[in-house]
Structure 1
Amino acid sequence: MSDPAERIARRLKLPHLRLALALANTGQISAAARALNMAQPAASRMLAEMERLLGAPVCVRGPKGVELSETGLALAERARRILTELSEAGRDVVEISAGKAGTAYIGAVTAPAINLVVPALQRLKSAHPTIEAHVEVGTSDMLVPRLLEGQLDFVIGRVPVHMDIADFDIRPVQPEVVSLLVRAGHPLARERRLPLSSLIDYEWVMQPPGTPLRRAMEYSFASHGLALPRISLISTSFLVLLSMIWRSDAIAPVAVEAARLLVAEGGMSQAVTALDLDERIEIPPYALIARADRHLSPTARLFYETICALIETGRGFVASSTVAP
């Protein structure tokens, strides 16, 4: 390490890093001070101290707040990683010293949340009765940025197209299958081997454009030379989807795992059923996604390995090291 770099490393303190990150997150000195429970004059003095130490401006002040300079952006990114690692080190120490499992923070799209995270928790509970899973269910473009920010241990989803795959450790799972849910009394509910063309006159409930399930359906219709049917409701909410098909003749595509939860023998609902299609529609693989530079806590590692075991005994992992967004 060069002398100037070593001098900066010796003099930078954790409060400096926390302030740099707070400025990146808020864009205002006053808001950053509030986030750190500091008075604004104290935050301004610390910012000036940082800039003297670095020999460069950390941010550029404007009429609407501050923008981080190139130096400030580099410092904030390093600060994010360092503070995340310190937080995770604290979790590790607490879990190990307490002699018990703690909490794993997991993000998942709907299907693996149902058929992987819940079974993994059930499997771990017998040996680790105090273990907990904090599970966020959402779209991949919501979850993966939270993984990068250190708010989630790992995600079961897909890397968004605008993100660099090199930032992640990715283990793709075999593709999901689409199931089409309707109310039990739907005109097509008792039909068998339905062609896709027989569904275009009904209204549909779809996920937003660009989501993997929506793209799978768009591709299937297009590959048969069919226009996309009329979409009456766009939502990522499973409850909203169920409410719509329960009250109408709408059709809703979902991952087959979500459909089985409701319509399989002994399922949770007799009010909905799945259509019998004459073809198989697949969604590109989701994956187990962790940060490439991140050490999982003991509890997160337990969950990760248990979910891997469940995948291997089910569909299995894809041999390729990449995953479709």
Structure 2
Amino acid sequence: MPSQLKLHQLRAFVEVARQGSIRAASRLSGISQPALTKAIQELEQVLGARLFIRRQQGVVMTDVGDNFFRHASLVLEELRVAQEDIQQRLGLAGGRVNIGVGGSVARTIMPQVITQFHREYPLVQVRIVEGQLVSMIPELRQGELDFTINTYDQSHLDQELSFEQMMQRDYKVVVRKGHPMERARSLAELQQCDWTMPTPKGSYYRLLHDLFAERGMAPKIVVSCETFMACTSLVAQSDFVSILSVDVINDPVLGHQLVALDLDDPLPKATFYLIQRKDTALTPMSAYMAQLFRRYCQ
């Protein structure tokens, strides 16, 4: 009976867990189904616990398996980062950088950063995830994202993430051109409209939620759009009201159908941060990517 955990067992377990079946994991990884099955069985013997429940349509993790998956996937990501760190310090500029960005950053600063980075390091693979911070927490925790440039509102995340202030941006209430409330001058006039905004959890939109509450407003946010593309498309083609960055509103492609309302009560500025796990150092390539964001955010 195997006495200690081995790396190939971890990789087999994580791949099967992510794919939901041994067959799919085998097809994606190029490892035979019998080899994956054997590795997982050996791992279960080492741990003394079942990690999967086998079903006709695939596998489902047990509670023990689900908890172990978080540790195993983080270990594999840390090993990948450590290996890439050594290669990059030796001048072998390969590897991968994984970043997250908020919607307005994706439309403005991010293209400039990525263009310069790719020009200097064409062999480095770059993965970009767009969205609110709350949607990126699992990948930040697992080491699958190196960092994100996003808005943030104080929460329990202070204990596990670090926050470096990068820039501030103006946000405004927006409607489509020709909207019945196009000439509104206050939030109170818009209270009965249908609103669409991202989730308020842990982001700039939490500040807006608190602002509405302070003024005794409860706008009907009946549709939540987690990407700015979905939000701008909905507002541009309907009577929904939203709040977007002036960078998006002024965009020549996206903004030509939108009108920023000139309200008597301006909205608070949004503060963007570079956010990463406290206990993880960036690889040289990730650190350089972060430095480029600092430069372009100024």
| 2:39 corresponds to which of 33, 42, 46 | 46
Verify the 8 A CA contact 1:213 1:254 in the aligned structure 2: no
Runs of 5+ consecutive residues of structure 1 not aligned to the other structure: 1-6, 314-325
Verify the 8 A CA contact 1:104 1:134 in the aligned structure 2: yes
Q: Which residue of 2 aligns with 1:207?
A: 198
5 Å matches for 1:243-254?
243-254=233-244
Q: Which moved more, 1:171-180 or 1:217-226?
A: 171-180
What does the per-residue CA deviation read over 1:172-218, in whole Å, with 9 as the maximum and x for residues that have no partner?
Answer: 45665421122344455467xx2222223444333346474554443
5 Å matches for 1:65-84?
65=59, 67-68=61-62, 70=64, 76-84=69-77
TM-score, with normalisation over the residues of structure 2? 0.75
| CA distance in 1: counterparts of 2:21 and 2:154, whole angstroms | 30
Distance 1:30 1:118, change over 3 A: closer
Percent identity of paired positions between Structure 1 and Structure 2? 24
**Is 1:220 the counterpart of 2:206 in the alignment?**
no
| CA distance in 2: counterparts of 1:273 and 1:288, whole angstroms | 30
| CA distance in 2: counterparts of 1:133 and 1:83, whole angstroms | 18
Q: Which residue of 2 aligns with 1:170?
A: 163
| CA distance in 2: counterparts of 1:248 and 1:94, whole angstroms | 51
Q: Which residue of 2 aligns with 1:85?
A: 78
RMSD value over aligned CA atoms? 3.9
**Is 1:107 the counterpart of 2:135 in the alignment?**
no
Q: Which residue of 1 aligns with 2:49?
A: 57
**Is 1:300 the counterpart of 2:286 in the alignment?**
yes
TM-score, with normalisation over the residues of structure 1? 0.70
| 1:239 corresponds to which of 221, 229, 242 | 229
Q: Which has the larger radius of gyration?
A: 1
Q: How far off is 1:111 after superposition? A: 2.2
Q: Which residue of 2 aligns with 1:121?
A: 114
| CA distance in 1: counterparts of 2:67 and 2:118, whole angstroms | 42
What does the per-residue CA deviation read over 1:3-40, in whole Å, with 9 as the maximum and x for residues that have no partner?
Answer: xxxx95xx432212213324544566666656654444
| 1:281 corresponds to which of 267, 271, 276 | 267
Q: How far off is 1:233 after superposition? A: 4.4
Verify the 8 A CA contact 1:176 1:282 in the aligned structure 2: no
Verify the 8 A CA contact 1:204 1:252 in the aligned structure 2: yes
Verify the 8 A CA contact 1:178 1:282 in the aligned structure 2: yes
5 Å matches for 1:122-201?
122=115, 124=117, 128=120, 130=122, 133-157=126-150, 164-173=157-166, 176-186=169-179, 189=182, 194-201=185-192
Aligned residues: 294
Verify the 8 A CA contact 1:111 1:258 in the aligned structure 2: yes
